[in-house]
Amino acid sequence: MTDARKALGQVVFVGAGPGSIDHLTMGACRALTQAEVVIHDRLVGPEILELIPPSATRIEAGKEGFGPSTPQSAINGMIVGHAGAGKRVVRLKSGDSGIFGRLDEEIEALDEAGIPWRIVPGLTTAAAAAATIGQSLTKRGRNAALRIVTGHDMAGFAEQDWRGLARAGEVAAIYMGKKSARFIQGRLMMHGASPETPVTVVENASRADERIVAATLVTLADAVAGLTGPAIVLYGLAPRRAAAALPLLKEATA
Ligand code: SAH
């Protein structure tokens, strides 16, 4: 490989959306089909992984809350290594790379190595899950702000502005909130949130096995207890129509 060819190494951070291929952008699709190396997270949908050219090197860099994971330094090293060797690298992350995606750490490693990069945004899970339950994430007269929060951070269960969240009408999209559901429930009730605050859990959003669990704050911990797939907690939102009585219109698959 010549030095000129080597200089062409670059990294595209691609947001894959929450799972369904329908949520992949055209830009993401183009970047994927042109990739020589794809380093992807565990949560990226199988239909999307099928778009990776067979000639490309495909690497899973697993990351799962509290579960087994590839250390961030090893992921950074892989990205820098392949791009430094002149490859077109796609770093494929679920949802949008800029939301709980450790994007900055990887960008910093590339900047340090002088490797060019760009970001292709993706549809974040909160948007897909809200669509599933027929709700909007902001609404005039209800909530003028949407909070995007995580259930846990590097220190364990994540502390939030509980007092602010406990106010009537607040809406939050809680990522990685399954293990911390009881903690979140306790904190919010301690700060005065109504036990009847609607809470909807969407498991496997946008995938074939998507599941909606309508709950309230007081039943949140029980609602997530049996879930095994990735799940997002939409705090302050109930499904617009009771799923059992009036199922939301599913897109016809021709
Ligand atoms: N960057 C991603 C979030 C990554 S953090 C985004 O923008 O969506 C991982 C968390 O995202 C999971 O613990 C879960 O809370 C949520 N998540 C990702 N995919 C999901 C899916 N298909 N259904 C429900 N939650 C999902």
Q: What is the mean pLDDT of each run of 10 residues along the chain (254 residues)?
A: 61 97 97 97 93 97 67 95 97 97 96 97 98 97 96 89 96 96 97 97 96 96 94 97 54 52
Residues marked active site are found at 41, 63
HEC profile of 104-121: HHHHHHHHHHCCCEEEEC
Q: How much distance in Å is there from the Cα of 232 to the middle of ligand 1?
A: 7
Cα(190) to centroid of ligand 1, in Å?
Answer: 27
Question: What pLDDT, on a 0 to 100 scale, did the predictor assign at position 154?
Answer: 83
pTM (2 d.p.): 0.92
Report pLDDT for 245: 47
pLDDT number for residue 69: 78
- Find out if CATH 3.10.450.50 is the number for domain 3-120: no
* Ligand 1 center–CA 114 separation, angstroms: 30
Residue nearest to atom 5 of ligand 1 (CA): 100
CA distance 87 to 53: 14
Instruction: Decide whether any atom of ligand 1 lies within 6 Å of the 212 Cβ.
Output: no
State whether the beta carbon of 19 lies less than 6 angstroms from ligand 1.
Answer: yes
Domain 125-245 has CATH 3.30.950.10: yes
Q: List the domain boundaries for the chain.
A: 3-120, 125-245
Is there a contact between 171 and 138 (Cβ–Cβ < 8 Å)? yes
Write b or e for each residue in 40-75: b if 16 or more Cβ atoms lie within 10 A of its Cβ, otherwise e: bbebbbeebeebbeeebeebebebebeeeebeeeeb
| Residue in 91, 125, 212 to alter for ligand 1 test, most ligand atoms within 8 A of Cβ | 125
Q: Are 243 and 138 in contact (CB under 8 A)?
A: no
Instruction: Name the residue of 21, 25, 66, 94 whose CB sits within 8 Å of the most ligand 1 atoms, as the mutation to test its pocket.
Output: 94
* Cα 23 to ligand 1 centroid, rounded to whole Å: 14
Question: Tell me, what's the pLDDT at 114?
Answer: 96
The finding on whether 239 has its CB within 6 A of some atom of ligand 1 is no
Q: Please report the pLDDT score of residue 116 as a whole number.
A: 97
What is the predicted pLDDT for the residue at 62? 74
Surface-to-core class of residue 209, CB atoms within 10 Å of its CB (0-12 exposed, 13-18 middle, 19+ buried) = exposed
9 lines ligand 1 (CB under 6 A): no
What is the Cα–Cα distance from 50 to 34, expressed in whole angstroms? 13
* pLDDT reported for residue 244: 46
